[in-house]
Amino acid sequence: MESKQILDIFKEITRIPRESGSEEQITAWLLDWAAQRGLEAKRDAIGNVLIAKPASKGKENVPVLVLQAHQDMVCEKNEGVQHDWAKDPINYVIEDGWMIAHDTTLGADDGIGIAACLALLESDLPTGRLECIFTISEETGMDGAEAMASGFFTGKTLINLDSEDEGEMFIGCAGGVNTESVLEYGSVAAPKGAKALQIRISGGIGGHSGDDINKERVNTVQQMARFLYSCPVDFELASINGGGKHNAIARECAAVVFTSAPEALAKAFAAFGADLQAEYRLSDPSLAFESKECAAEGICIEHKAARALIAALCACPHGVYAMSQDIPGLVETSTNLAAVHTAAGKAVVLTSQRSSITSACNAIAAKTAAVFELAGATSRHFSPYPGWKPNVDSHILKVCVESYKRLFGCEPAVKAIHAGLECGLFLEKFPGLDMISFGPTLRGVHAPGEKLELASLERFVKHLEDVVTSFN
Ligand SMILES: [Zn+2]
C-alpha cells in the first residue's frame, strides 16, 4: 500500500460535499464505491456505512478488525471567500511537504481516515476480515456513533483513524457537552442623534476547542465583551455577533453600537486593539480591529439586558480549567465560549465543555450556565458524549507499539486526548471493545489553513499496513 494511493483517494474525496448534517453525497459515493468492487456494504437509517472485506486465505481465524473514520467535515472559510459547501470542491495546494487549503478547511479530518480505509479494502494485503465503519455528523455531536445499533459491526477490536499526531497512539479521550444560553430582551429606539458604529475584531487563529484550547489563543467574542464592558464612551448595543461552531475557537466578532461620540468610541477601540495585539502577538499575530460608521436600523437592545449580556460574556469561563493529575500535560477540563448571536429579541450564546472526568465536565457546564443565569438567561445542555478511559493493558495497543518499534526503531508516545472521539460512544454500545486511535499529522483542523503533513502520511501508511497484517 502506497501513501500516494491514499492521497489520490483523498483528493477524490475533497470533491465530494460532506458538511456535517449533509453527508448524503459522500454516503452514496461510499456505497457506490463498495458496489463497484463487489464488497459487502450496508447503510443504517441515520447514514452510517459499513464496508467489509472477507479474510484472506489462511487468515480466516484472525479476529475481525474494525477500522473507523467519520464521513463529515467541519466547513469553515475565511470571510469574503466564495465557497458553496453544498457543491464546490475544496481548493488545496501541495506546499513544502504539506497538503493545505488556505481559504477553507481541508477536511483531512477525517477524509484521510476514509481514504486509508478504502485503500485497505482495495488492497490484497493478507488480513483477517476487515470491517470499515464510516460514521456521520461526528463534528456536530457524533450523531452517527450515538445512533449506531449495537450489532452494526461484529469485530471486538477497533482502530479509530481520527487523531492527528503521527507517532502518537491515543488510548483515551475526553467526554463533553454543549451548553446553549438564551437571553431574551426587549428592543428600544436608538437615542436621538446617535450614530451607528460597527466595531469588529478579526484575524484570530481560532482552532479546535479541544486540541487547541491550551494554546492561549485569543477568543474574539470574549475580547469584544471585554471592550464593551470597560468602554469609556457611552453607547447602546444594537447587536453582537461572533464565533461559529461549538467546537471552534471564535476567530471573529462584530458589534454594532449607537453612540453620540463615534470618534471617541472608535479611538478607544483602536487603543484596546493595540493592547490586545501586544497581549496576543505570539499566538495571534494577525489580529485586526476595525470600526466604521454604518447604516443600521435605529433599534437597540434594552440597556439593562445589553449590560447583563456583555457582563456575562466577559465573565464566562473560557479556556483550560484544570490539568490532569494522572497524565502529565493532559488538559483535563476546559470550556469554549464558542459563539454569540443576537436577533429578534434573543441573544443566543453557545459554549462547549470537555473533561476526561464526567462529573468535572458537568461541573464546568453548570458553572457556565450559572454565569448566564445571573444575567437573566436560561440554559440547556445538549449532545453530551461519554469519555473513553485508557486501558494500558490493551492488546491492540501492544500490537501497535511493537509494530511501530519494529518499523521505526523508536517507541511511539502513548497518550490520551483532550477532545472527543467516537470511541467513548462505541464503548457504551460494544462493551469490552479494545480500541486505539492514530493518524497522520494534521495541523489547524477545523479552521481555514488546515493541513496534512505528507511525510507523516507515509509513516502512518506503513504502520497501519503492518498493524493490520500482523494483528492476530
Ligand atoms: Zn475528526
Map residue 15 onto helix, strand or coil.
Answer: coil
210 C-alpha to ligand 1 centroid (Å): 11
Q: Kindly state the cell numbers that stand for 85.
A: 459547501
Q: How many separate helices (H) and strands (E) can be counted in the chain?
A: 11, 23
DSSP letter string, 120-142: HHHS----S-EEEEEES-TTTT-
Q: Kindly state the cell numbers that stand for 428.
A: 457504551
> Per DSSP, what are the bridge partners of residue 77?
104
| CB 252, CB 202: distance < 8 Å | yes
> What does the DSSP 8-state code read for residue 244?
-
110 C-alpha to ligand 1 centroid (Å): 5
Q: Is residue 349 located within the same domain as residue 445?
A: no
Q: Is residue 92 located within the same domain as residue 214?
A: no
Can you give the pTM of this predicted structure?
0.73
| CB 269, CB 227: distance < 8 Å | yes
Beta strands in 244-302 (DSSP E): 253-259, 288-293, 299-301
- Asked if residue 326 has pLDDT above 80, the reply is no
Q: Is residue 358 located within the same domain as residue 412?
A: no
Residues with CB under 5 A from ligand 1 (ion): 109-110, 162
Q: Using the 3D structure, point to which of 352, 369, 385 is the last residue of a domain.
A: 385
Q: Is residue 335 located within the same domain as residue 444?
A: no
Whether residue 110 is preceded by a cis peptide bond, meaning omega within 30 degrees of 0, is yes
Q: Is residue 345 located within the same domain as residue 431?
A: no
469 C-alpha to ligand 1 centroid (Å): 25
| Cα–Cα distance, 446 to 450 (Å, whole number) | 7
244 C-alpha to ligand 1 centroid (Å): 17
**Encoded amino acid at 247, one letter:** N
Choose the catalytic residue: 23, 110, 138, 162: 138
pLDDT given at position 383: 87
b/e per residue, 367-377, with b = 16+ CB within 10 A? ebbebbeebeb
| Cα–Cα distance, 102 to 188 (Å, whole number) | 42
90 C-alpha to ligand 1 centroid (Å): 17
- Asked if residue 358 has pLDDT above 90, the reply is no
CATH number for the domain spanning 62: value is 3.40.630.10
Q: Using the 3D structure, point to which of 337, 365, 385 is the last residue of a domain.
A: 385
163 C-alpha to ligand 1 centroid (Å): 7
pLDDT given at position 401: 98
Choose the catalytic residue: 19, 23, 72, 109: 72
415 C-alpha to ligand 1 centroid (Å): 17
Q: Is residue 279 located within the same domain as residue 310?
A: yes
Domain count, the chain: 2
250 C-alpha to ligand 1 centroid (Å): 19
329 C-alpha to ligand 1 centroid (Å): 22
Burial class of 109 by CB neighbour count within 10 A (0 to 12, 13 to 18, 19+): buried
Confidence grade of residue 357 (pLDDT, cut at 50, 70, 90): confident
342 C-alpha to ligand 1 centroid (Å): 30
Q: Is residue 211 located within the same domain as residue 225?
A: yes
pLDDT given at position 420: 80
| CB 334, CB 357: distance < 8 Å | no
Q: Is residue 291 located within the same domain as residue 342?
A: yes
| Cα–Cα distance, 180 to 349 (Å, whole number) | 6
Residue with cell 454594532: 256
Per-residue pLDDT tens digits for 206-253: 999 998 999 999 999 999 999 999 999 999 999 999 999 999 999 999
Map residue 264 onto helix, strand or coil.
Answer: helix
Q: Is residue 194 located within the same domain as residue 166?
A: no
> Mapped to the 3 state alphabet, what secondary structure does 209-221 carry?
CCCCHHHCCCCHH
Other beta carbons within 10 angstroms of residue 193's beta carbon come to: 7
CATH number for the domain spanning 238: value is 3.30.70.360
How do 451-453 and 98-100 pair as beta strands? antiparallel
Map residue 92 onto helix, strand or coil.
Answer: coil
Is 124 catalytic? The answer is no
The residue among 419 and 259 whose pLDDT is bigger is 259
Taking alpha carbons only, the member of 425, 424, 423, 403 closest to residue 412 is: 403
Taking alpha carbons only, the member of 160, 110, 111, 108 closest to residue 132 is: 160
Confidence grade of residue 93 (pLDDT, cut at 50, 70, 90): very high
Q: Is residue 191 located within the same domain as residue 327?
A: yes
Give the helix/strand (H/E) hosting 417. Answer: strand 413-417
Q: Is residue 419 located within the same domain as residue 454?
A: yes
Residue 232 sits in which domain range?
A: 177-385
**Encoded amino acid at 161, one letter:** L
71 C-alpha to ligand 1 centroid (Å): 9
- Asked if residue 121 has pLDDT above 90, the reply is yes
419 C-alpha to ligand 1 centroid (Å): 10
141 C-alpha to ligand 1 centroid (Å): 11
Q: Is residue 429 located within the same domain as residue 309?
A: no
Is 72 catalytic? The answer is yes
Per-residue pLDDT tens digits for 373-399: 999 999 999 988 888 878 889 999 999
Q: Using the 3D structure, point to which of 385, 420, 454 is the last residue of a domain.
A: 385
pLDDT given at position 329: 86
111 C-alpha to ligand 1 centroid (Å): 9
